[in-house]
Structure 1
Amino acid sequence: MTIINLAPPGAEPLTLAQAKAHLKIDHTDEDGLITSLIATAREHLEQVSGLALVRRPMRLYLDRWPETGLIEIARGPVTAVDAVRIFDADGAEGLVDLAGHVLDGAARPARLWLKRRPETRGAVNGVEVDFTAGFGDTGADIPDTLKRAMLTHVALMHGFRAVVSTEMQPAGVPDGYDRLIAPYRMMRL
């Protein structure tokens, strides 16, 4: 299973002004650095939690349709399933009818069930599911706890700015970070 972003998020969960207020910075000398640290904090949080914070289109690749008929989508919250395509061994594409589909997009992982299970013939990445995931279009839609975790992370990375290059961030996570994101983290047994 592979998930890719089809487009970058249209905004970051934190604004530059929010991050600068948290850092108690009132000059513009480090605006570029702080903006990049916000993106790094978002990317890290999404990676460790399985979340998509800001709504955007994504694609899930599977080799075959699951035996149970239930597709698990490990990036969420999923707000819509936009298209499902299957490919045969020769690469011929077929569009799957989504009529009657059931989406449990808030579940972790999100789950998709189709009324009619398509026939797949074992092509590598033979199933593509295009979906939209994220809490909303702006930072206002994202839970405050997650934004607080990002602010503490930006502050820690900002403190490391003279020692660790921006490309090598994150250099660590702050104390309490894991407790802040724990309710949103997808855990598997």
Structure 2
Amino acid sequence: MLSFKVTVPPVAEPVTLDQAKAHLRVDFDTDDLLIMGLIGAAREFCEVYSRRAFFEQTIVLSLDAFPLFTYNNGTIPPAQMHGWPYYSAYWDPLCIRLPRPGTVSVESIAYRDLTNTVQTLDPSTYYVDLTSEPARIVPMPSLTWPTTQLYLPGSVQVTYTAGSYGDGVATNNCPRAVMAAMLLMVGHLYEHRETVSELSLKEIPLGIKSLLDTVKFDSFTFAGGY
């Protein structure tokens, strides 16, 4: 099993308070805190739907074990794998693919060894491909992933920074479609503050999801063999 969570959120939002207030046609300051909260909620929704990290944030990916490969997708002792040909058809299943592209950097890979001791992999033992989407991590040639503690969930923790459009401060390359989708969501949440309505509402054509479909990441396998 695998899972991931954001441990350090972005320091900026794709939509500013002034932009949101202009969209809402609000010219007073009383609702500023409310609107800022709605901007954050809109961004979180848009990131989940598009499966992307917009601005740089820290994410931890949790795996129960490193991906290991055999012809029948089982596992074999890593010592027996050193002589295998280093062809992509054989070794692609060893890839760890990182959710919420685009990945900026990998900070660490920690795991529990057979003595249940937390170890941190030497960065020289693995390669991070930041040019692909999603980013991929593989062992360096002639190496394999280490053996982890058996039957212990979350034995592997990959900590990395992801942000498709910069940090939001020094760099902001956020597409206008994303900003427009967020503004639509902010407008909806601002006008409808209850979970139910007496009105019959329907989603507008070419609305939030249609805008986000232009940047949505829709092909993913976190780790080979999983």
* TM-score when normalising by structure 2: 0.72
| Paired position in structure 1 for 2:65 | 64
Residues 9 and 72 of structure 1, relative CA distance in 2, 3 Å threshold: same
Q: Percent identity?
A: 30
Task: Provide the rounded CA distance (Å) in 2 between the counterparts of 1:128 and 1:69.
Answer: 16
* Structure of greater relative contact order (alpha carbons < 8 Å, 6+ residues apart): 2
Render the CA deviation track for 1:31-52: whole Å, top value 9, x for unaligned.
1211111011011111122211
Deviation at 1:80, TM superposition (A): 0.4
| Paired position in structure 2 for 1:152 | 184
The match for 1:78 among 68, 78, 103 is 103
Larger Rg: 2
Asked if structure 2 preserves the Cα contact closer than 8 Å seen for 1:59 and 1:129, the reply is: yes
Deviation at 1:174, TM superposition (A): 5.5
Render the CA deviation track for 1:68-118: whole Å, top value 9, x for unaligned.
210011212101011111112543011112226433335443322231322
**Secondary structure of the equivalent of 2:144?**
coil
Task: Provide the rounded CA distance (Å) in 1 between the counterparts of 2:214 and 2:132.
Answer: 13
| Paired position in structure 1 for 2:211 | 180
- Give runs of ≥4 in structure 1 deviating > 6 Å: none
Task: Provide the rounded CA distance (Å) in 2 between the counterparts of 1:173 and 1:9.
Answer: 29
- Correspondence 1:117 to 2:148: no
Task: Provide the rounded CA distance (Å) in 1 between the counterparts of 2:120 and 2:145.
Answer: 10
Task: Provide the rounded CA distance (Å) in 2 between the counterparts of 1:127 and 1:73.
Answer: 13
| Paired position in structure 1 for 2:117 | 92
The match for 1:130 among 130, 143, 159 is 159
Task: Provide the rounded CA distance (Å) in 1 between the counterparts of 2:46 and 2:34.
Answer: 18
Residues 85 and 157 of structure 1, relative CA distance in 2, 3 Å threshold: same
Residues 182 and 151 of structure 1, relative CA distance in 2, 3 Å threshold: same
| Paired position in structure 2 for 1:168 | none
| Paired position in structure 2 for 1:55 | 56
Is there any run of 5+ residues in structure 2 with no aligned partner, and where? 69-92, 221-226
Residues 74 and 85 of structure 1, relative CA distance in 2, 3 Å threshold: same
Count of residue correspondences: 183
| Paired position in structure 2 for 1:44 | 45
Deviation at 1:172, TM superposition (A): 8.9
Aligned letter for 1:91?
N
Residues 133 and 174 of structure 1, relative CA distance in 2, 3 Å threshold: farther
Is there any run of 5+ residues in structure 1 with no aligned partner, and where? 166-170
Task: Provide the rounded CA distance (Å) in 2 between the counterparts of 1:21 and 1:156.
Answer: 14
